[in-house]
Amino acid sequence: MRSWSLLVALTLLLVDQSCAFKAHDFKTCSQSGFCRRGRALSARAKEAKSSWVSPYSIDSSSIRVSSNQAVFTAAVKSSLYPDINFGLEVRIHEDGVARIRMDEIGGLRKRYDEAAGWALVAEPSLSHEIKWTSGKKDIRAVYGDGKDIEVVVSYEPLRVSLLRNGKEQVVLNGQGLLHMEHFRTKGTPTEEPAPVEVEGAESNGEAQVVIKADNPRAWFEGDVEDDLWEETFLSWTDSKPKGPESLSLDINFPNHGTVYGIPQHATKLALPSTAGSDPTFTDPYRLYNSDVFEYLASSPVSLYGSIPLMHAHSSESTVAVFDAVASETWIDVSHSSDMSTETHWISESGILDVFLLPGPTAEDVFSQYARLTGSQSMPVHWSLGYHQCRWNYVSSEDVRTVQKRFDEEDMPVDVFWLDIEYSEDHKYFMWNEKTFPDPVEMTNDVAALGRKMVVIVDPHLKRAQDYPAFKQASDLGILVKPKSGEGEYEGWCWPGSSSWTDFFNPAAWDWWKSMFKIEQSETWSWTKSTTDVHIWNDMNEPSVFNGPEITMPKDNIHYGGWEHRDIHNINGMLFSNLTYQAVAERTNPKTRPFVLTRAFFAGSQRFGAMWTGDNLGTWEHMEVNVKMVLANGLAGMSFAGSDVGGFFGNPEPEMLVRWYQVGIFAPFFRAHAHIDTKRREPFLLDQPYKGLVKDLLRLRYTLLPMWYTAFRETSATGMPILRPQFIMFPKDKAGFAIDDQYYIGSSGLLVKPVTAKDVTESKVYLAEDQVYYDYFTHHAYRGSAKGKEITVPSALHQVPVFIRGGSIVPTRERPRRSSPLMKRDPFTLRVALSKAGAARGELYLDDGESYDHLQGHFIWREFIAEKLAKKSKGLRLSSRDLGAAKPNEAVDGVALKSYNPANEFAKAIADVRVEKVVIVGLSAKPSSVKVEGGEELVWEYTPGVSSSEKKEGTASLLTIKDPRVRIANDWSIVIQ
């Protein structure tokens, strides 16, 4: 993560990280034994063409269907190894998701089968409407509201397909690349046949000739044992005591030509090819959580997190697959035609546990995935404000000074961050008393203005007997063990000699939570802290400076005897999960925590935010970070952002302004910088740059109601907050690959960040016959049903942001120093009329801190603008109670039976009003503007283009001043 120059004592042990990305520190597929074997298998299949047949088949006589019909099991055999037994289970969930599991039965060892247990939020409910029909060649089930979904499992060879309306959507093992390497005894891994004598040799008086028979499995597995038992990379040797156990599986989408997902990679949103003819990349996409220093801006190299979820899209439907595997995985992507996609998944260990998400819409897929792994947690409100960080604020007085400078410049900020140098010798929880002699008082000074602190806590524990955290963990026996299974694994990280807590061990859970207790107790805890301190979990891939690929050896041992190779990609999620719980449980009742994590897995969205790691202050990284944040949203991790300004480097003022323009339109908004960079807090900039950034910060705070409302939607539905074109316009092929503009939730805001130097104009794609208004100037642009590219001004002081016609955006316009100070501020409603002269929007509010919203203490309003009559020029703007109308859809995980509009939160903000309404695109100047049943209001009208016209230009503007309506109440404003 940071410059390694601080660790002078380790320089002989550590890889020099002072320069750019060190490709040689990380494996390519050709340097990974199981990946080589998987790709070689694929190459043999392609060479054999139609003669290639998968050796795996189902014994039809073994099929057993459960009493509820939702599950069937069967025995699977491989013709390569007739004595090895496999078991298949297929189950259909209530929402139509199909789960396919396959495992080795009665083998020498047990394969890791707990990945789904960590990723899933709960055991999925099974369908009650399924009936399996078993035939001579296959077993199948038809289901869905229109009986349009079908799952077909063919016996010989084993093949699983998901169809909709008779059209294949997803196919498993269609290319015959399924291979589950069974456990075996070292020395006889391939059971080579005995030598054979050549007949007739003796009778001819010749010496007897003995030759080896051909290996009957070579056609499938190859004729060379390739790193089955021991593998060396650079100076490290992986002992691989269990031998080969990899899993190969082809997953194809015969009718979907575009795929997305499988973060985290620095690449385009629509995944470029890695195989087939003329691939973009020559290596597969790798999923292996890694501490990659100064990563490339275009690469399939694995980064900090791994979510094995892939979406496949066409103009007809969207489907997805979720592969619940926690080990290192490589994924090849190719296209045999523009209309299809072939993928090959190669994992080092684990069972086959694949979920087929049938869609058919993107919204359906997100809902199906959220039911599996949970949705993005509802964040604490202040965490949507601006976060100011660097490595490092060097003292408590430095923090106070930074806060003072923000206030002097009237720049809003909610959070100040402390990196590793706050701690004594990098012993987390323990303050460096020379530089931070008064941490509680410092935090209280920050909190006095409604702000918070976020402090880093990394997973490595300094091996020192005077460090209570390490001593307690060691005494409890909850540290990760070396390959021997005895003692404690020792590696190197920021403190020097370190060990790592094994969070797979249940005994570690309550202990970790106890470390964050701020009250004095019998055991040592972080008493020099307050509830205004929240946590940053970094280095949790885990990063090990002297380990293979800068991480933990794969043959280390975790709780239950599992090797690190089995659980590597889950490791970081457990750390942030337990930290999230620990911070929540500091208070009684619990309050919402904020935890930022660098490493993540499927399900991490339930535990807070993530960021794109150690980016560079370059235009290329700015551009790709937008795509990466979009990709993370597709995989459930909506609370995402990148380091504004770039972690490395000293961006010029123009670039820094553009970074802030990117940052304010990301869900997570933090500026961060390396210790070797120049200080670049926004108040240090010269004019006009300082003023530009100040305006951007204020714009972020103005839009906080919109952001919080978007988070409610994603927490309840799983829909990503940032939505690329293919989600908004699924039938528009021209938008499938667009990843440089996006919509924010259902707000109607369309954003096109500028990520290049010296830009004065930008191209924006409008996919529909609708009017779009410039957010700032109200200039009306017209789209087209065939899709249309418009050119918009985007000089440095201009941000290409538009309101889609038909949208209502709630804002709070009064400048404040931090978001908690805005809690009772009035609202402005921006009404952008559609071509048809209508608009709709939502606003969700709760106390932003507690979990009271789960008991119905919130307000959820719908604003509707509609014509008074079909041909009328009059308009009615109304506020309606969505909480009462849809109590079972209001908040994640809770189906409220009823909703009380007079709940405690609603009472607390009963006097909060709408202070202004701005209506864009009216067809004519009104003659009257009244609250229904009330007197004439004060308003102003500026003539301009109407929403229904075909021409472009500045739109008409009606500004209603202080209509004196309450945000929590029903009301209507009538415009005649």
How many distinct helices (H) and strands (E) make up the chain? 16, 55
Query: Which H, E and C letters describe 599-619, residue by residue?
Result: CCCCCHHHHCEEECCCCECCH
Q: How far apart are CA 28 and CA 283, in angstroms?
A: 7
Is the bond leading into 589 cis (omega within 30 degrees of zero)?
A: yes
Classify strands 670-671 and 387-388 as parallel, antiparallel or unpaired.
parallel
Q: Is pLDDT of 406 > 90?
A: yes
Provide the 8-state DSSP code for 891: B
Count of positions (residues) in the chain: 976
**pLDDT tens readout for residues 336-394:** 999 999 999 999 999 999 999 999 999 999 999 999 999 999 999 999 999 999 999 99
Which residue is catalytic, options 114, 283, 488, 538?
A: 538
| Percent of the chain at pLDDT exceeding 70 | 95
Q: Specify whether the CB–CB gap between 856 and 895 falls below 8 A.
A: no
Q: How far apart are CA 886 and CA 867, in angstroms?
A: 24
Q: What is the mean pLDDT of residues 607-612?
A: 97
Largest CA distance in the chain: 122
Q: How far apart are CA 606 and CA 636, in angstroms?
A: 9
Classify strands 496-500 and 460-462 as parallel, antiparallel or unpaired.
antiparallel
C-alpha neighbours within 13 Å on the C-beta side of residue 329: 34
Q: How far apart are CA 58 and CA 80, in angstroms?
A: 14
pTM metric for this prediction:
0.95
Q: Is pLDDT of 830 > 80?
A: yes
Of the pLDDT bands very low, low, confident and very high (cuts 50, 70, 90), residue 748 is: very high
Rounded to a whole number of angstroms, the distance between the first and last alpha carbons of the chain is 60
Q: What is the mean pLDDT of residues 22-50?
A: 97
Contacts 24+ apart (CB under 8 A), 528-531: 528/431, 528/439, 528/440, 529/429, 529/439, 529/440, 529/443, 529/455, 530/440, 530/443, 530/444, 530/447, 531/586, 531/587, 531/591
Q: Is pLDDT of 209 > 50?
A: no
The confidence score (pLDDT) of residue 872 equals 80
Q: Is pLDDT of 205 > 80?
A: no
Q: Which two tokens stand for residue 824?
A: 């009772």
Residues facing residue 160 across a β-bridge: 153, 172
**pLDDT tens readout for residues 101-133:** 999 999 999 999 999 999 999 999 999 999 999
Q: Specify whether the CB–CB gap between 663 and 669 falls below 8 A.
A: yes
- Angstrom CA distances, 833 to 804, 839, 877, stand at 8, 5, 11
213 vs 292, residue with greater confidence: 292
The confidence score (pLDDT) of residue 897 equals 87
- Angstrom CA distances, 660 to 21, 313, 637, 665, 818, stand at 25, 32, 21, 9, 17
Write the CB contacts of 812 (distance below 8 Å, at least 6 apart in sequence): 701, 702, 704, 705, 822, 825, 826, 827, 828
Provide the 8-state DSSP code for 875: E
**pLDDT tens readout for residues 883-941:** 999 999 999 878 898 899 999 999 999 999 999 999 999 999 999 999 999 999 999 99
Q: What is the mean pLDDT of residues 641-648?
A: 98
Q: Is 614 a catalytic residue?
A: yes
Pick the closest to residue 883 from 856, 913, 912, 854 (CA basis): 856
Q: Is pLDDT of 841 > 60?
A: yes
Classify strands 133-134 and 387-388 as parallel, antiparallel or unpaired.
unpaired
What value does the mean pLDDT of the chain take? 95
Q: How far apart are CA 846 and CA 271, in angstroms?
A: 38
Classify strands 533-537 and 595-597 as parallel, antiparallel or unpaired.
parallel
Q: How far apart are CA 29 and CA 334, in angstroms?
A: 16
Pick the closest to residue 446 from 29, 818, 908 (CA basis): 818
Q: Which two tokens stand for residue 115?
A: 């990945």
Q: What is the mean pLDDT of residues 950-967?
A: 97
Pick the closest to residue 715 from 372, 379, 363, 377 (CA basis): 377
Which residue is catalytic, options 103, 421, 458, 541?
A: 541
The confidence score (pLDDT) of residue 188 equals 59
**pLDDT tens readout for residues 167-194:** 999 999 999 999 999 999 997 545 444 4
* Residue that the structure tokens 């439907």 belong to: 317
Q: Is pLDDT of 201 > 70?
A: no
| Percent of the chain at pLDDT exceeding 90 | 93
Q: Specify whether the CB–CB gap between 659 and 754 falls below 8 A.
A: no
Q: How far apart are CA 235 and CA 807, in angstroms?
A: 59
Q: Is 433 a catalytic residue?
A: no
Q: Is pLDDT of 415 > 70?
A: yes
**pLDDT tens readout for residues 493-539:** 999 999 999 999 999 999 999 999 999 999 999 999 999 999 999 99
Q: Specify whether the CB–CB gap between 550 and 473 falls below 8 A.
A: no
The confidence score (pLDDT) of residue 43 equals 98
Q: Which two tokens stand for residue 337?
A: 């035609």
Q: Is pLDDT of 10 > 80?
A: no
Q: What is the mean pLDDT of residues 588-602?
A: 97
829 SS3 class? strand
238 vs 895, residue with greater confidence: 238
- 3-17, 139-153, 899-913, 942-956 — which is least confidently predicted? 3-17
Q: Crossing angle, helix 704-717 and helix 689-702, to 10 degrees? A: 50
Write the CB contacts of 786 (distance below 8 Å, at least 6 apart in sequence): none
Q: Is pLDDT of 15 > 80?
A: no
Of the pLDDT bands very low, low, confident and very high (cuts 50, 70, 90), residue 624 is: very high
The continuous run of DSSP H or E covering 920 comes out as strand 913-920
Buried b (16+ CB within 10 A) or exposed e, 371-390: bbbbbbbbbbbbbbbbbbbb
**Sign (positive or negative) of CA dihedral 446, 447, 448, 450:** positive
**Sign (positive or negative) of CA dihedral 88, 93, 98, 101:** negative
Provide the 8-state DSSP code for 420: G
320 SS3 class? strand
Phi-psi region of 682 (alpha: psi -120 to 50; beta: other; left: phi over 0): alpha
Which residue is catalytic, options 353, 424, 458, 614?
A: 614
The confidence score (pLDDT) of residue 757 equals 98
